[in-house]
Amino acid sequence: MAIVAGLPPLDAVMGSTVNRAAWVRWQDGLAVRFTLLETLPPLRVLLILDNLAGHKSAALVCWLMAHGIMPLYTPISGSWLNMAESIQRILVGRALAGQHPDSPAQLIEWLEAVARGWNGNPTPFIWGGKRALRRLRARERHYGLGGSGAISCQPIPHQWIDINGDKQGI
């Protein structure tokens, strides 16, 4: 509530057509759009949320819209988000580094400074990296059991009987 209280006032003068166009513009390109309220306050904030069911409830979405907040949702199954979140965690950690901003403007200033520094000398990331190699080596040390998903740490000898009735094996 403190963040909402710190936003620009809801009574900002804006033509209803221009105001609605601002809200609609942020829904362009979305696969799933929610119905906008009949009367909308000026758009004050974009709030990016994950796809939890509670974040999409009609009560929450209506409350957000009534306060000039447009909810946007991250894509489902976006594997690139894992890497984006890793970079975000690094940048936020560097920007804050034990400090506490006095205002949203100061936080934004710190984050932008860190992002400029990062962009000046970016760190390349390798998709998978050490963890993927560790998992691959672990899979190579195990033997699958008949496609069931179960594994064995030792090879399982396969035996069968040929057409002459003799036992054969690998």
pLDDT of 17 > 80? The answer is yes
| Domain ranges, ordered by start, for the chain | 2-73, 129-169
- State pLDDT tens for residues 106-151: 998 999 999 999 889 887 777 777 888 888 888 888 877 766 777 7
Rounded CA-CA distance 105/150 in Å is 54
| Global confidence as pTM | 0.48
pLDDT at 13: 55
Burial (0-12, 13-18, 19+ Cβ within 10 Å), 70: buried
Rounded CA-CA distance 110/96 in Å is 8
Average pLDDT rounded to a whole number, residues 78-107: 83
Work out the widest C-alpha separation in the chain, in whole angstroms: 93
